[in-house]
Amino acid sequence: MPHSVLMGIALLGALAISPVVAQDAHPDAAKGLAEAIHAYGDGDCPKAVSLASIVIDKSGAAAAEDVSQAYDLVIDCAWQAKDYAKAVDYANREMALDNSSNFAWRVPVIADFNAGRFAPAVEKIEHMLAAGRGGALNSFDPVILIQLHVRLERSGDAANDTRLLALLANRAYDPDDIVAKIDSTGDYLRALYARKLIAAGKKDEARALLADLQGYNAMIEVAFDPALLALRGKPVDFRAVVEADLKRHRGMIELYPKSLAAINAVARDLNLLGRSDETIVMLKTAVARAAVPETFEDIQDRLRWTWDALADAYTATGKYDEMVDAYNQGVRGPGDKLLNVDQAINLAGRQYGFGHAADAIATLDQMGEKPDLSPYGAMLVRKIRGCSNAVLGRLDKARAELAEAIVHERDAPPVITELELCVGDEDAAAASLVRRLANPESRREAMLAVADYDASDPRSPKGPFAAAYDRILKRPEVVSAMRAAGGQVRIHLPA
Report how far residue 57's alpha carbon sits from residue 241's, in angstroms, rounded to the nearest whole number. 56
C-alpha–C-alpha distance, residues 304 and 116, integer Å: 31
Beta-bridged to residue 490, according to DSSP, are: 452
Enter the CATH code of domain 11-194.
1.25.40.10
The dihedrals phi and psi of 493, each to the nearest 5 degrees, come to: -140, 155
Q: Is 272 helix (H, G, I), strand (E, B) or coil?
A: helix
**Element containing residue 278 per DSSP (H, E):** helix 276-290
DSSP tally for the chain: helices H, then strands E = 28, 2
Q: How far apart are the first and last CA of the chain?
A: 46
CB 206 within 8 A of CB 197: yes
The ranges assigned to domains in the chain are 11-194, 237-330
Q: Cβ(395)–Cβ(423) under 8 Å? A: yes
- Burial (CB < 10 A; 0-12, 13-18, 19+), residue 493, is middle
DSSP states of 299-326: HHHHHHHHHHHHHHHHHHTT-HHHHHHH
- Residue 29 confidence (pLDDT): 80
Neighbours of 471 (CB within 10 A): 15
Q: How long a stretch of residues is the chain? A: 495
- In Å, how far are 207, 311, 350, 356 from 321, measured between CA atoms? 48, 10, 11, 11
Instruction: Tell me if 284 sits within 8 A of 310, measured CB to CB.
Output: yes
In this structure, what DSSP letter does residue 339 have? Answer: P
Is 213 in contact with 222 (CB distance < 8 Å)? yes
Which residues in the chain show pLDDT less than 70? 1-27, 331-339
Q: What does the pLDDT read at residue 343?
A: 84
pLDDT value of position 131: 96
DSSP 3-state of 493: strand
Specify the DSSP class assigned to residue 14. G
Instruction: Note the pLDDT of residue 9.
Output: 36
For residue range 131-187, list pLDDT tens digits in order: 999 999 999 999 999 999 999 998 999 999 999 999 999 999 999 999 999 999 999
pLDDT given for residue 91 in this prediction: 97
What are residue 494's DSSP bridge partners?
A: 454
Using alpha carbons only, give the angle 387, 392, 396 rounded to the nearest 5 degrees: 70
The CATH number of 237-330, from 1.25.40, 3.40.50, 3.30.1560, 3.40.720, is 1.25.40
* 317, 276 Cβ separation under 8 angstroms: yes
Q: Which of 95, 88, 189 is nearest to 133 (CA)?
A: 95
Helix (H, G, I), strand (E, B) or coil at 366: coil
161 vs 53: CA distance, rounded Å = 38
36 to 75, 76, 273: CA distances (angstroms): 13, 13, 53
